[in-house]
Amino acid sequence: MIALELITKILLVGLCLPLGYLLATTIAASRFRKKNSRVCDPLHLGVLIPAHNEAAGIGPTIKAVRACDYPPDHLEILVIADNCTDRTAAEARKAGALVFERHDPDQRGKGQALDWFLMNHKQHYRHLDAITIIDADVVPDSAFLQEISASLSHPEVQVVQGYNGVSNACAGWRPALCDAAFNVFNHLRMAGAAYLSGTAVLKGLGMGFRTPLLMQYGWPAHSVVEDMEFTLLLLRDGINVHYNPDAVVRSEMVTTGGGAASQRSRWEGGRFFLIRRMAPSLIRLWISSFESRYLYALFELAIPPLSLLVLGMALATLSAAIWCPDWIVLAGAQWLILALYVASGQIQRRAPLTTWLYLGAAPFFVLWKIPLYVKMLLCRQSGHWVRTQREAESSPAQQVIQENRVQSLPQTINTGIEAGL
């Protein structure tokens, strides 16, 4: 009994650290203001789209880019048809994009494709002022290009990350909860980190770069989580990633159980791997410089997924009610912080009513994830690419295609995760 009481108290005290950070992030996010300059002329902007077997979706994506409120004579669309076995290249050319075909099956991956283009085809983009990178299955909001241009026109901004949202939040409880998670993880956490440390993180799409930076770096990150790997390299070199919540791109989330399980296994497996690989490097960087941004980056990496945090809090609260009732007040305060954190993300992103209503299904979502955690602990992750079933394959009426890829994780610094639930 004494041992159980001690374990309960240790668990409750231990939870104060991540929840304290989430509270600080929530407060900081409310004070965040983006950096941009609207007095400058629109930049000559390139939209770079890496695509692998996206024949059905690349045309609509290019059409959506051209529909953005941006001067057509200041816009160029560049598509990397990477190891495609379908009509991706032909459909992209038909839609008016400049297409670069890459065939290297031994070096598959988004990072490899981007690096190949940026290092070997500089003559095709060196005249551009800036480049924004999106995936072949997203829909940008009409103001997306304007906002990227305005951010990169600011003298302090070399890299900017927009907000990645969900396009089908009303399609069921799974995409609705993804929408809630993105509102927290892709906005509130980004805004809070940017305010506290001066830098956010790259999310893999909806990001923009000044052209000279890409000409210098290429894309040196080749892991399955190449976005955050590049973030760490920029962080090491003193280059901040700025956040613009009004530069919005939206992706379709899976609605089926099988597709969601595949997607979540990839995200969570990547998270746990990244903690092991990145934490020592960030600690060394912080010790050698004592710069707070490395410490904030470490916190961002180490904070557990929201589902895992909720499981720990539920266990601690139940144990406190049984073994040490005097500590139940602390458990209650922790639940209030969590509720404020989640609600603040929805309020700041003006979440639709359906997202708020489906938050009631969150406990079932947490229970659904327990077997995934168990499977990840007991089973070795495959090193092969895993393709999640697309919504368009189960519903022919839908146009937007989503493909999730998993490849072996290299023995380099890796980072990045896409959702926080």
Is 90 exceeded by the pLDDT of residue 150?
yes
pLDDT of residue 256: 63
Q: What are phi and psi of 49, to 5 degrees?
A: -125, 105
Residue ranges of the domains in the chain? 32-303+349-412
Q: What distances in angstroms separate CA 209 from CA 133, 219, 234, one per listed residue?
A: 8, 11, 12
Per residue in 153-201, pLDDT tens? Answer: 999 999 999 999 999 999 888 899 999 999 999 999 999 999 999 999 9
Q: Which helix (H) or strand (E) holds 121?
A: none
Angle value at C-alpha 407, between 120 and 280, nearest 5 degrees: 90
Using CA atoms, how far apart are residues 395 and 414, in angstroms rounded to an integer? 35
Lowest mean pLDDT among 36-50, 220-234, 283-297, 381-395: 381-395
Strands 130-133 and 98-102: unpaired
Q: Decide which of 102 and 236 is more confident.
A: 102
Share of the chain above pLDDT 70, in %: 82
What does the DSSP assignment read for 215-251?
A: HHH-----STTHHHHHHHHHHHTT--EEEEEEEEEEE
* SS3 state at 148: helix
Would you place residue 272 in the very low, low, confident or very high pLDDT band (cuts 50, 70, 90)?
A: low
Q: What is the pLDDT of residue 278?
A: 75
Torsion sign over Cα 191, 193, 195, 200: negative
pLDDT, residue 416, reads 32
Cα–Cα distance measured from residue 185 to residue 199, given in angstroms and rounded to the nearest whole number: 15
Task: Flag whether pLDDT at 142 surpasses 70.
Answer: yes
- Counting residues of the chain whose pLDDT is more than 90, the rounded percentage is 63
Q: What is the pLDDT of residue 409?
A: 32
Residue with the larger pLDDT of the pair 361 and 18:
18
As to burial, measured by CB atoms within 10 angstroms (0-12 exposed, 13-18 middle, 19+ buried), residue 92 is buried
What mean pLDDT do residues 360-384 have? 68
**Confidence band (pLDDT; 50, 70, 90) for 116?**
very high
- Please tell me the pTM assigned to this model: 0.86
Pairing of strands 98-102, 75-82: parallel
Q: Give the range with max mean pLDDT: 281-285, 368-372, 409-413.
A: 281-285
Helix, strand, coil abundance in the chain, percent, nearest 5: 55, 10, 35
- Does the pLDDT of residue 15 top 80, yes or no? yes
> Per-residue pLDDT for 230 more than 80?
yes
Q: Classify residue 40 as left (phi > 0), alpha (psi -120 to 50) or beta.
A: beta
Calculate mean pLDDT across residues 124-133: 98
Three-state DSSP class for residue 164: strand
Long-range contacts of the stretch 336-340 (C-beta < 8 A, 24+): 337/19, 337/20, 337/22, 337/23, 338/19, 338/22, 338/309, 338/310, 338/313, 340/23, 340/26
At 301 the pLDDT is 80
Instruction: End-to-end CA distance of the chain: give it in Å, rounded.
Output: 33
Q: What fold does the segment set 32-303+349-412 form as a domain? A: Spore Coat Polysaccharide Biosynthesis Protein SpsA; Chain A (3.90.550)
Alpha helices by DSSP H, listed for 105-201, are 110-120, 144-152, 173-182, 189-197
DSSP letters of 65-100?
HHTSSS-GGGEEEEEEEES--SSHHHHHHHTT-EEE
pLDDT attached to residue 386: 44
Three-state secondary-structure class, residue 139? strand
Mean pLDDT of the chain: 85
Q: Which pLDDT band holds residue 258 (cuts at 50, 70, 90)?
A: low
